Amino acid sequence: MSPNFDLRQVVYTFLAFAGIALLLELIVLAYVLWHVKHIRLTPDADLLMTLRATPLSVVILLDLLDLSLDFLSAPFAWVLLGYLGLHKLRGVTVVESLLPGTQFIPTMTAAWIIARLIKVERLPPAFRI
């Protein structure tokens, strides 16, 4: 006895999930563009300093972009990060959005949390990006 597998139902569920993520993304995008504007960083700011200066709403937006658009989110993230002045995060976001199968993992949010927990003084100079 084989289970009844309806491919159409799976596709509709996936499209509904992506649509909800896209709607949430647009809401967070409006919030980010309204409140965050432009983040000023020193020219010698590294990746950890940039992540620490980044508001949580921005990294959540980047993860929602990756969730709803997968690899198509790379150009949108590139433009958004350029507008916000977060140029150091561009490469990380593009690489993360181009890796297949990482849509469901909130990697930017996890990196943001890790950047908040790590003490920069304790890192060896080779690990200070």
Confidence of residue 127 (pLDDT cuts 50, 70, 90): very low
Sequence-separated contacts (24+) of 104-113 with Cβ below 8 Å: 104/67, 106/60, 106/63, 107/63, 107/66, 108/59, 108/60, 108/62, 108/63, 108/66, 109/56, 109/59, 109/60, 109/63, 111/51, 111/59, 112/51, 112/54, 112/56, 112/59
| pLDDT at residue number 120 | 63
Q: Which residue bears the tokens 């993520």? A: 21
Q: Which pTM was predicted?
A: 0.78
Q: CB–CB of 50/24 below 8 Å?
A: no
What gap in Å lies between CA 84 and CA 34, rounded to an integer? Answer: 11
Higher confidence at residue 68 or residue 27?
Answer: 27
Return the structure tokens found at 58.
């921005």
Domain ranges of the chain: 7-127
3-42 per-position pLDDT tens digit = 677 889 988 998 898 889 889 889 999 988 888 877 888 8
Phi, psi of 38, rounded to the nearest 5 degrees: -130, 130
Alpha carbon of residue 77 to chain centroid: 8
Share of the chain above pLDDT 70, in %: 90
What gap in Å lies between CA 92 and CA 59, rounded to an integer? Answer: 12
| pLDDT at residue number 128 | 46
Average pLDDT over residues 110-128: 71
Name which of 28, 30, 32, 50 is nearest 40 in CA terms: 50
Mean of all residue pLDDT scores within the chain: 84
